[in-house]
Amino acid sequence: MSRIACFSVPMFPLAARLRCEPELLQEAVAVVEGNGNSAHVVAATRRARSKGIRPGHSLAQARSIVPKLIARGRDNEAERTAQEALLEIAETFSPRVEDAGEGVVFVDIAGLERHWGEAAAEASGLGPRASGESDAGGGHEVLLGRAAMRRCEAIGLPVRVGIAASKLAARVAAELAKSPTVVAAGNEAGFLAPLPLTRLSPELGAATTLHRWGITSIGDLAGLPESEVASRLGELGRELHYAARGIDPRPLIPRPLPPDFREGMELEWPLVALEPFLFIANAALDRLSKRLETVGFSCTRLELTLTLEPDGFHVRAIELPAPTRDVKTMLTLLRLDLEKTPPGAPVTGFSLVAHPDRPRRAQLSLFGPAALSPERLATTIARLISILGDGRVGMAMPVDGHLPERYAIADYAPPPPPTTRPRPKKSRGLLAVRVFRPPVPVEVNTHVIDGETQIAAIHGEGDHAGEARVSSGPWRIEEGWWAEKRNDREYWDAELTRGGIYRLYRDRVSGEWFLDARYD
């Protein structure tokens, strides 16, 4: 038996706009479509409606009713991302989800009773069951509907839920004021009968004819003979009659899973400064993060597309060092990237695309050394890289070669800790070496004792200067003799009379001296 849930967002253009600008929720706001004299109200907030503004009013009419009305144009980017967010919530209930557009989503919930445990538990503390349940499974469906409403509210979308055996009945149920509404299986015609005919959205011609006949409710139409209606109103009338009897043969067409997550906005005015843009981007990233959390993903790559004035786009991609959902980290990376390469023109809109990836997981140990939380580690590393820059955080790697200052840095991915704690190895008591990167240029005095060249004094800055007490050397290193830029060095160790043991070398190609390291 088919069971379909319909999630419907009333006044979707307004809801999508308020999701991006929640501070306008208590204001008199109208979303308008069209430009100039053709601009008309599509939806309005409760405060505006209470003062008499209705959909279809021209902007001038609306302003004559409420002079301080805040008018916003329809934002296609905001509506698209709100629709995606709605679909993602629907996918937390069932993998079979149909995108019907304009804030409407159908979900196939047949045979998923066992999966509703979590939703039922989530909604169980919300009070008595709705009166709409009438069959054995209705209680679970009401709980499912309430869970859906809560989840949608968490992402800033007020949703109404209707559950029935067909898409048509589910949609009509979702448009009712009481939510969630559950229509018992086989009772679609009975549910629709008392409702006004306008709920079926008939075409204007057919609606006028039916009105002339005195047909006002869906039940009145369903009571007429099908063939008589078809002979007078044609194929359209037959379809309407079918709908009035609760017959909807249209199957649910599931949508494929999206490869990425997108949030964005069209701006009312062009932005030229970074801070206002980051303020808006922060809110978009926050929404993105919540959506990723809903489906259990993290972001591994962030793409930013800026719409520029007067025309053109600026696209950039930010590779995150590790999958993360941390808004602060992503915002910092975004800021650094924009500071490094500004778009060069005022910004009139933007969209952020997050490429999802599974967050890192690990089994923590009870008796071994404490393991790091992979999620927290990834976030910290991403934040550190955003602050310090590339190549300054990671795992040190030994490199083949002879030059002492050589090093490499790789992504930090520690192996899991051992299950038991071994004893630490005894130290070899080695004198460590502080490498100078880059080597410090100095002047060196040498003298020859018994035919051997020895260091007499080092003339450098700060502590790197003084008479040499003892020195030893030279040790010769030659690397890359076949290349144009070869390294040919003579190394010495020298102890200064004022303290400090240095390793220094003379570049045999240029004849210059450098401090390479200090023993410590």
Select from 264, 442, 289, 447 the least CA-distant residue to 359. Answer: 289
Least separation, in Å, of the C-beta of 501 and another protein?
5
**Tokens linked to 44:** 């309005």
Out of 68, 114, 340, 423, point to the residue binding another protein (CB under 8 A): 423
> Least distance from C-beta 364 to another protein, angstroms?
10
By CB under 8 A, tell whether 361 contacts another protein. Answer: no
From residue 424 to residue 453, what is the string marking binding to another protein with x (rule CB under 8 A)? xxxxxxxxxxxxxx------------x-x-
Nearer residue to another protein within complex by CB, 279 or 519: 519
The reply on whether position 483 binds another protein by CB under 8 A is no
Q: Return the number of the residue (114 or 425) whose C-beta is nearest another protein.
A: 425
DSSP string, 274-323: HHHHHHHHHHHHHHHHHHHHHTT-EEEEEEEEEEESSS-EEEEEEEEEEE
Residues 6 or more apart in contact with residue 252 via CB below 8 angstroms: 4, 96, 98, 106, 108, 167
| The amino acid at 466 | G
* Token pair recorded at residue 403: 């030059």
* Furthest-apart CA atoms within the chain: distance in Å: 126
Q: Are 449 and 473 in contact (CB under 8 A)?
A: no
Label each residue of 447-511 as H, E or C.
Answer: EEECCEEEEEEEECCCCCCEEEEEEEEEEEEEECCCCCCCEEEEEEEEEECCCCEEEEEEECCCC
State how far the Cα of 133 lies from the Cα of 107, in Å rounded to an integer: 18
E strand or H helix that includes residue 477:
strand 466-479
| Residue with smaller CB distance to another protein, 287 or 383 | 383
373 binds another protein (CB under 8 A): yes
What pairing do the DSSP bridges indicate for beta strands 104-108 and 433-449? unpaired
Q: How far apart are CB 125 and another protein at their closest, in Å?
A: 21
> Residue 383 interacts with another protein (CB under 8 A)?
yes
CB atoms under 10 Å from CB of 464, counted, come to: 17
End-to-end Cα, the chain, rounded Å: 78
Per CB under 8 A, contacts with another protein among 387-416 are: 387-388, 392-399, 404-409, 412, 414-415
CB 494, min distance to another protein, A: 9
Strand partners, 161: 7
Looking at the Cβ atoms of 159 and 504, the one nearer to another protein is 504
73 or 416, CB closer to another protein?
A: 416
Q: φ and ψ at 445, to 5 degrees?
A: -100, 135
Supply the minimum distance, in Å, between the C-beta of residue 397 and another protein: 6
Length, in residues, of the chain: 520
In angstroms, what is the minimal distance from the CB of 463 to another protein?
Answer: 6
Cβ-based nearer residue to another protein, 94 or 471: 471
Under the binding rule (CB under 8 A), the answer on residue 346 touching another protein is no
Residue with tokens 């379809």: 239
DSSP-assigned letter for residue 449? E
Report, in Å, the least distance between residue 394 CB and another protein.
Answer: 6
Kindly state whether residue 25 participates in binding another protein, applying the rule CB under 8 A: no
Total binding residues toward another protein, as defined by CB under 8 A: 68
How near is the Cβ of 426 to another protein at its closest, in Å? 5
In what helix (H) or strand (E) does residue 85 lie, and over which residues does it extend?
helix 76-91
Q: Does 422 bind another protein (CB under 8 A)?
A: yes
199 near another protein (CB under 8 A): no
Residue 476 within binding range of another protein, rule CB under 8 A: no
Residue 371 in contact with another protein, rule: CB under 8 A: yes
Do residues 8 and 98 touch, judged by C-beta distance below 8 A? Answer: no
Regarding 463 and contact with another protein (CB under 8 A), the answer is yes
The tokens of 282 are what? 């922060």
Closest alpha carbon to 350 in 303, 415, 402, 399:
303
Choice between 273 and 432, CB closer to another protein: 432
**Does 212 engage in binding with another protein (CB under 8 A)?**
no
Among 63, 501, 508, 512, binds another protein (CB under 8 A): 501
Nearest to 247 by CA among 299, 203, 176, 186: 186
Least Å from the CB of residue 23 to another protein: 17
CB nearer to another protein: pick between 269 and 367: 367
Catalog residues that contact another protein under the rule CB under 8 A.
366-373, 376-377, 380-381, 383-384, 387-388, 392-399, 404-409, 412, 414-415, 417-418, 421-437, 450, 452, 462-463, 470-472, 493, 495, 499-501, 517-520
